[in-house]
Amino acid sequence: MSDKVSGAGDALGPIISGKDPRFVPTLYAQVGKDKSWTLDFYLSHGGYEAIKKAIGMGQDAVIEEMKKSGLRGRGGAGFPTGMKWSFMPKNTGKQHYIACNADESEPGSFKDRYLMEDDPHQLIEGMMIAGLAIQATKGYLYIRGEYRKAYDRMMQAVKEAKEHGYLGQNLFGTGFEFELYIHRGAGAYICGEETALMNSLEGLRANPRQKPPFPAQAGLWGKPTTINNVESLCSAVHIIQRGADWFASMGTEKSKGHKLFQVSGPFKRPGVYELPLGTTFRELLYDYAGGPTEPIQAIIPGGSSCPPLPWTDEILDTPMDYESLVAKGSLLGTGGVIGIPASMSMVDAMWNVTRFYGHESCGKCTPCREGVSGWMVGLFEKIGTGQGKKGDVAVLENMLNQIEGRSFCALADAACWPVRGSLKHFRDQFVAAENGQAVERIGSRWG
Amino acid sequence: MAKVTINERTVEVPNGTSVMDAIFHAGYDVPLFCAEKHLSPVGACRMCLVKTGAPRKGPDGNFILDDNGQPKIFWAPKLAASCVTAVTDGMSIDTLSDDVQHAQSGMVELTLLNHPLDCPTCDKGGACELQDRSYEYGLVEKFYQPSEMELPLYTRYEMTRRHGEKHHTLSEFVTLDRERCIHCKRCIRYFDEVPGDNVLDFIERGVHTFINTEEGDAGRSELPSNFSGNIVDICPVGALLDRTARFRGRNWEYDSVETTSMDDAAGAGIIADTRSGFLERIRGLERREVNETWLSDAARFGHDWVNENRVTRPLIRRDGRLVEATWEEAQAAIKSGLAGIPQTRIGVYLPGTATLEEGLAAVELTQTLGTPHRDFQNRTEFPATVFPAASFDDLLDAQFALVLGDPSEETPTVHLRLSEFSRNLKPAGKLNHGTPIADLNIKENMDRDTSKLALFSPYPAQLAKWAGASGTHLPGAEAALISALLGSGEAPAGLAEAVDWTKKRLSESQKVVIILGANVLNNLEAAQKAKQLAEKTGAKVMCMTPAANARGLEALGLYPQKGGASWTETGPNAAYYGFIPTEDQLKAANFRILHITHRNALTDKYADVILPNQTAYEKRGQMLNLEGRVLPLEPVSINNGEADGAVAALAVLAEAIGVKPPVRLVRQASKTLTEKHKLPAPMGRWNVKPASFQPSTPDTRHPTPLYLRPTMWRREQIVGAVANVVQVRLEVSPETAKANALTDGSFVELETPSGIERVTVKVVEGLPGGVMYLPALGNWAGRSVEAKILVGGEA
């Protein structure tokens, strides 16, 4: 389609702004269109051509193309997708699996939802490409339990695809086979952790598993497995279709491509925006989201597990890519930007976040079960309800040291980072609360 | 081997060793709660965090060197849980730095947050891993000392603790305190991985996580497993406690003796805890070769009987009544009672739990007397010593195992070792000084390999779940079954497919282990066929004999000589019995010496002299388990009055008869065994020559047989809590019930070798028809007798 864009970035520099005329939205191009979830609609704009092209390229070339594109996992951790695929053993004679992590439960993230609701075939095709690259003939799509509509649309899409020969044996007469199964979660945030997701798929209690062995060695039912985010898999479709160079022409040196950014909080137009990596917060929040409707004191740049940053010009002019945010002491995460209004106490905001993580802790390891789920929640309640006393903030800070980096999986870390970030930038509010200043609680609350 | 440096101390350990074991091996300590070397490592408690580092290779392929020219250690950014991390060559481990100490003490603090400090009323107090670590890490100054001049804080946690159920009755034997639970998951992993009974799991999540049975609170309070007691041993805190021992004593008050369980032929190691002469508690002893550290519930909880209603003094019959007497008076009574009875007409019969020393005394005495009447209780018709014994290591090494019987009931330890076998685990590696190391190959939720096991039994067996082919056949159909496995004859009805699969697997496998139950060993024809099968396949054999020391007593020759009566037959005019025989046998003899621990109606009616006996717990000596392994018995101090073992009793008998006792003392017998019989030291295996035996009376066929199915529980154990668990019921199939006019739930009285029993009838779908099943409870296990129902009626 937009082949003219390919490689055109060289002379003018990389595309790092949504306003760059060379930038064309692809992932969300069909979202919101009438009947966009049907097979007919998908075929009408070149659907299932990428997988045919990929079959023609062959497994190794697909992985090479992915590596070349520089696509990094869009689930939050940012691990290069092509690299992940290349870790899969080859010709083991075992069943390989591709699992798609659609358990999008991070507060502030809602990009995958619309990909599944409005463009389900794009995800199916992405999973097929991944299946081809890692020799997986079976795929599992693990959908967050609350995403009922997405589940229905995906079920419908898989049914349609099967009926029309886009899933099953000997696809397109090439001998390629792929089966897709959809599993609906039961409402646990921990299932977004890849090994807990595998346990949940196997019918076990959703506790994370020990790594190593990594899923690529022994994943689902002990077989080699790769787990990717919805957005990563959807991006793979366009990388194959338009080439790695097109993808790499967007973004910064180490953060290539485009990404779905989500805006929530007091902004004029909250929602999902597809922009190249390296776009500034200012562009996203003012030019696209229309600017704040009330004074903002902090933004959480990538979903609730990322440390909040203060609402300053310096931060607003920071490009949104993996490295720039790490340099500022935060993370890109899933790209879910949450604005925290100045009228809200940071203590209250962090209390809400902590309570979420405390509720979602699986209870497997001590620091998360007792520390996050027990002590941190209790401390916030104590401080937040005006019962705090001097030294509580010091205990809270000490607690973060005791939990962070020592838990079994990253959930406890995810609970610690936002609190740590808040303490760094908004310590005065915590100290005020500790000294008995009541925290005003506003707005609807989680739980 | 991997070279690992732990705090400047370098040790060599096998590859695949966990960092934790390497630390222990180097002589350092690391705290742990969730790690248990027989279970899968999970890294959940985070107590064992240590700093790890490894050298790295540069682009030139050589190690990057530091200033001193040594490979530079790159320390990992995060601390690692040492129980789940495997060592690598050149690794460095730090357990002493501030980082590590802070992490570990912080984890103790977190673990203690919601743990009640009720140690003074907790049975685990004094033997609690959490208590020990709390003392060790408890008052770390940087947490609890606000400043130098202030007193330390009691706690920094100023919120209300989580509360939970304090006394949740999980089963008749185990109680759960949900407040004390620290969520180490050992019990859940144990049930899943070791016996394979998934009965416990975590419910809820986060700080609200608790343990419950699958049925939940609505279900019956029981743990449907023959091995539920082991969770008490492995619980690192006092959350799971032994109800039979609860509040009977503090840990420091017990006298603990390491001995061997005589409850079955496996010879599991036990620690017997006594207080003031009462046996209060039994715990598992780590005996890696045999039971690892696991016990069956019968071996663990079935001990209350030894404290109650013991025969503590000799009794002699005077004017028709049994009256208490001294050993001298008893000897005089035996002397006068035996007057006129030829020495060759005196029989000596030992219990199946007799030690090798006692067996030697019995054999030598009967040889001195020249009597052919000697035997031991529950000896099988076909001797176990004829088969080459397989060890448990052989079993783990085997490619295929054929089970004919029900290991879960006959010798529960075999069930546990078959569990490892079905998970393809190999015998655990050892450090160079012999300490076994944790096996990191054990994983949570491992698949069971069903292609390695076939199981056939006369009663539905639990282990059929791990068998690729299995089936239930009529008692007595064993010979036909084994013939079919040998390739001659038809398989019993309904088993053709399973037999074909087993035959195929047997022919494909190089290393085979055959496990025989009492039903095969008591059926001469079947046992002979089993011998042929073992020879044909080159298999080693494990015999699950009903008598614990069967292999040892057979090896010493304690079976009837030519013309002698076996333990089930009448014959001798006067007899010494170490157990209570059948009424017919008691009736047939003119003079009966019973050397027993407990009296019953039969003994009071027939005994001429009763001598107080020791239980297996009180004996010193040795036994031979089903592997042929010599295992030691140490005496546990239990109040037993003047009770003495068979060695002493047989010496008394010899003197009463007027011959010189060949053996007077246990240690003398042990010496003879070592010197004359070349018995190896404990834990060694005794390669005994096959017993020469004469086939006794063949199995009689009964119109409706009563099959005494082997059970792990023995009759004497059924007191106290055990009585609420063991259900003695006459089980029949619906057709058999109809044919014999039995209804579900009705009471019947029937004649059994142990006397007349009053039991309820239970109609069970799927049982073979034409046969009635009664739990053997230790006596006559695996044998069929004629079913004689005396009284039947509605409940």
Tens of pLDDT along B233-248? 999 999 999 999 999 9
Return the axis-axis angle of helices A59-69 and A49-57, rounded to nearest 10°: 110
CB within 8 Å: A369 and B109: no
Torsions phi, psi for B470 (to 5 deg): -155, 165
Sheet holding B453-457, edge to edge: B469-472, B453-457, B400-404, B512-516, B540-543
CB within 8 Å: A369 and B143: no
**Would you say B585 and B570 are in contact if contact means Cβ atoms under 8 Å apart?**
yes
- Choose the closest CB to B159 out of A358, A360, A378: A378
Q: Which residues of A touch B202 (CB under 8 A)?
A: 205, 363
Q: How far apart are CA A159 and CA B597, in angstroms?
A: 74
Sheet holding B315-318, edge to edge: B321-324, B315-318, B609-612, B591-596, B574-577, B346-350, B374-376
CB within 8 Å: B207 and A373: yes
pLDDT bin (cut points 50, 70, 90) of residue A5 is very low
- Choose the closest CB to A358 out of B49, B158, B206: B206
Q: Which of B178, B183, B203, B207 to mutate to test the interface with A (most CBs of A within 10 A)?
A: B207
Helix, strand, coil abundance in chain B, percent, nearest 5: 30, 20, 50
Q: Is B145 on the interface with A (CB under 8 A)?
A: no
pLDDT bin (cut points 50, 70, 90) of residue B53 is very high
Tens-digit pLDDT profile for residues A11-48 = 578 888 888 899 999 999 999 999 999 999 999 999 99
Q: Is A370 on the interface with B (CB under 8 A)?
A: yes
Provide the pairing of β-strand B374-376 with B346-350.
parallel
Q: Which residues of A touch B46 (CB under 8 A)?
A: 365-367, 406-408
Q: Is A369 on the interface with B (CB under 8 A)?
A: yes
- Residue A292 C-alpha, separation from nearest chain B C-alpha, in angstroms: 36
Torsion of CA B560, B566, B570, B571, to 10 degrees: 0
Q: How far apart are CA A76 and CA A79, in angstroms?
A: 9
Give the count of alpha carbons within 13 A of A444, CB side only: 1
CB within 8 Å: B207 and A361: yes
CB within 8 Å: B44 and A408: yes
The encoded tokens of residue A270 equal 């909250």
Category of B122 on φ-ψ map: left (φ > 0), alpha (ψ -120 to 50) or beta: beta
Q: Which residues of B touch A409 (CB under 8 A)?
A: none
The encoded tokens of residue B72 equal 């530079």
- Residue B158 C-alpha, separation from nearest chain A C-alpha, in angstroms: 9
Provide the pairing of β-strand B315-318 with B321-324.
antiparallel
Q: Which residues of B touch A375 (CB under 8 A)?
A: 110, 113, 157, 159
Residue B711's identity, in one-letter code, is T
The secondary structure element, H or E, covering residue B528 is helix B524-537
Q: Is A109 on the interface with B (CB under 8 A)?
A: no
Q: Is A363 on the interface with B (CB under 8 A)?
A: yes
Q: How far apart are CA B464 and CA B10, in angstroms?
A: 48
**Would you say A188 and A206 are in contact if contact means Cβ atoms under 8 Å apart?**
yes
- Residue A79 C-alpha, separation from nearest chain B C-alpha, in angstroms: 18
pLDDT bin (cut points 50, 70, 90) of residue A212 is confident
pLDDT of residue B211 exceeding 60, the answer is yes
Chain B residue at shortest CA distance from A393: B156
Q: Is B159 on the interface with A (CB under 8 A)?
A: yes
pTM of the model: 0.93
- Residue A361 C-alpha, separation from nearest chain B C-alpha, in angstroms: 5
How far is residue A224 from each of residues A78, A87, A91, A270, B442, measured CA to CA in Å? 21, 10, 11, 40, 18
CB within 8 Å: B79 and A222: no
- Residue A210 C-alpha, separation from nearest chain B C-alpha, in angstroms: 7
Tens-digit pLDDT profile for residues A281-299 = 999 999 999 999 999 999 9
- Residue A201 C-alpha, separation from nearest chain B C-alpha, in angstroms: 13
- Choose the closest CB to B209 out of A222, A369, A408: A369
Q: Which residues of B touch A379 (CB under 8 A)?
A: 159
Q: Is A245 on the interface with B (CB under 8 A)?
A: no
CB within 8 Å: A202 and B444: no
- Choose the closest CB to A369 out of B81, B156, B183: B183
Q: What is the structure's pLDDT at A362?
A: 93
Would you mind telling me the total number of residues written for chain A in this entry?
447
Chain B residue at shortest CA distance from A401: B103
Question: Across chain A, how many H-helices and E-strands are there?
Answer: 20, 10
Q: Which of A369, A381, A390, A403 to mutate to test the interface with B (most CBs of B within 10 A)?
A: A369
pLDDT of residue B487 exceeding 50, the answer is yes
Q: Which residues of A touch B81 (CB under 8 A)?
A: 408
pLDDT bin (cut points 50, 70, 90) of residue B218 is low
CB within 8 Å: B43 and A408: yes
How far is residue B604 from each of residues B317, B321, B661, B671, B759, measured CA to CA in Å? 9, 8, 28, 37, 23
- Choose the closest CB to A375 out of B47, B113, B447: B113
pLDDT of residue A73 exceeding 50, the answer is yes
- Choose the closest CB to B110 out of A209, A222, A402: A402
Q: What is the structure's pLDDT at B220?
A: 60
Q: How far apart are CA B300 and CA B270, in angstroms?
A: 8
Per-residue H/E/C for B134-180 = HHHHCCCHHHHCCCCCCCCCCCCCCCCCCCCCCCEECCCCEEECCCC
Q: Is B16 on the interface with A (CB under 8 A)?
A: no
Q: What is the structure's pLDDT at A447?
A: 45
Chain A residue at shortest CA distance from B83: A210
| Percent with pLDDT over 90 in chain B | 75
CB within 8 Å: B206 and A360: yes
Q: Is B156 on the interface with A (CB under 8 A)?
A: yes
Using a 10 angstrom Cβ sphere, with 0-12 exposed, 13-18 middle and 19 or more buried, the burial of residue A59 is middle
Q: What is the structure's pLDDT at A7?
A: 44
Tens-digit pLDDT profile for residues B700-731 = 667 788 999 999 999 999 998 899 889 899 99
**Would you say B698 and B692 are in contact if contact means Cβ atoms under 8 Å apart?**
no
Residue range B248-266: mean pLDDT, rounded: 95
CB within 8 Å: A363 and B208: yes
pLDDT of residue A2 exceeding 60, the answer is no
A326's CB contacts (< 8 A; 6+ apart) are none
Q: How far apart are CA B746 and CA B795, in angstroms?
A: 4
CB within 8 Å: A375 and B143: no
Q: How far apart are CA A136 and CA A63, in angstroms?
A: 14
CA Rg, chain B, in Å? 29
pLDDT bin (cut points 50, 70, 90) of residue B224 is confident
A325's CB contacts (< 8 A; 6+ apart) are A301, A302, A306, A318, A331, A332
**Would you say A198 and A225 are in contact if contact means Cβ atoms under 8 Å apart?**
yes
CB within 8 Å: A365 and B46: yes
**Would you say B523 and B531 are in contact if contact means Cβ atoms under 8 Å apart?**
no
Kindly report whether the peptide bond that precedes residue A212 is cis, defined as omega within 30 degrees of 0: yes
Residue A192's identity, in one-letter code, is G
Q: Which residues of B touch A378 (CB under 8 A)?
A: 157, 159
- Choose the closest CB to A359 out of B44, B45, B206: B206
The DSSP annotation for B33-66 comes to SS--TTS-----S-TTEEEEEEE-B-TTSSBPB-
The encoded tokens of residue B217 equal 């609170």
Kindly report whether the peptide bond that precedes residue A213 is cis, defined as omega within 30 degrees of 0: yes
**ipTM confidence score:** 0.90
pLDDT bin (cut points 50, 70, 90) of residue B696 is low
The DSSP annotation for B70-114 comes to SBPEEE-SS-EETTTPBP-TT-EEESSSHHHHHHHHHHHHHHHHT
- Residue B109 C-alpha, separation from nearest chain A C-alpha, in angstroms: 10
**Would you say B404 and B461 are in contact if contact means Cβ atoms under 8 Å apart?**
no
Per-chain mean pLDDT for chain B: 91
Q: How far apart are CA A212 and CA A208, in angstroms?
A: 12
Lowest mean pLDDT among A436-445, B334-343, B391-400, B554-563: A436-445
pLDDT of residue A316 exceeding 60, the answer is yes
Tell me, rounded to whole angstroms, the distance of Cα B597 from its chain centroid. 22
Count contacts between A and B (CB, < 8 Å). Answer: 107
- Residue given tokens 């010593």 in the structure block: B385
Q: How far apart are CA A126 and CA A238, in angstroms?
A: 9
Would you mind telling me the total number of residues written for chain B in this entry?
795
Q: How far apart are CA B437 and CA B495, in angstroms?
A: 42
Q: Cβ–Cβ contacts within 10 Å for residue A12, how many?
A: 11
Q: Is A205 on the interface with B (CB under 8 A)?
A: yes
Q: Cβ–Cβ contacts within 10 Å for residue B760, how many?
A: 15
**Would you say B566 and B379 are in contact if contact means Cβ atoms under 8 Å apart?**
yes
- Choose the closest CB to A205 out of B47, B84, B202: B202
**Would you say B452 and B468 are in contact if contact means Cβ atoms under 8 Å apart?**
yes
Q: Is B750 on the interface with A (CB under 8 A)?
A: no
Residue range B561-578: mean pLDDT, rounded: 92
Tens-digit pLDDT profile for residues B311-321 = 999 999 999 99
Tens-digit pLDDT profile for residues B573-586 = 999 999 999 999 99
Q: How far apart are CA B263 and CA B284, in angstroms?
A: 13
Residue range B400-414: mean pLDDT, rounded: 96
Q: How far apart are CA B590 and CA B575, in angstroms?
A: 8
- Residue A97 C-alpha, separation from nearest chain B C-alpha, in angstroms: 18
Residue B406's identity, in one-letter code, is D
CB within 8 Å: A366 and B109: no
The encoded tokens of residue B601 equal 């109606």
